[in-house]
Amino acid sequence: MNQHQILTVQRTFALAQPDADALARRFYARLFALEPGLRAMFPAELAQQRQKLMATIGVAVAGLRRPEALLPALRQLGERHAGYGVRDEHYALVGQALLGALAEHFGTAYTAEVAEAWAAAYGLLAGVMREAGALAAA
């Protein structure tokens, strides 16, 4: 990721913060629409899960300027997710759901530049998690 992309992700995430729960709701609605079988991996009540999601994204977004500092936490997250049954192919679905939720949330403000920046951020973060999850599952 380049500096401009990092700033774009951080700026847009800050704009989403006042309505973070709505963004998280959009994400989970999209994820479960893409793959209904994933719903069983989550608790019946998603309020706490939505808070955890947004907090985790917040930490990751804040750490984009120093991704090397994020690596241990991302690896642990990937290992934990492997233990929950998350498979490699789920990461593409999560990325699709996240980018779709962001597009819906921001509407016309979700420009090609914003989409590209978020795709780069997700690719970076998910790549580390996928690798750690694959190693943990092996």
Q: What is the pLDDT of residue 137?
A: 80
Catalytic residue among 35, 104, 116, 131: 131
Q: What is the pLDDT of residue 4?
A: 97
- The residue extents of the domains of the chain are 3-137
Q: Using CA of residue 110, residue 81, residue 93, residue 53, what is the dihedral sign?
A: negative
Classify domain 3-137 by CATH number.
1.10.490.10
Direct distance between the N- and C-terminal alpha carbons of the chain, in angstroms, rounded to an integer: 29
This prediction has a pTM of 0.93
Report the percentage of the chain scoring pLDDT > 90.
91
Catalytic residue among 35, 91, 104, 113: 91
* Higher pLDDT pick, 94 / 137: 94
113 is catalytic: no
The two three-digit tokens of residue 114, written as one number: 């914003």
At 30-56, the pLDDT tens digits run 999 999 999 999 999 999 999 999 999
Give the distance, in angstroms, between the CA of residue 81 and the centroid of all CA atoms in the same chain.
13
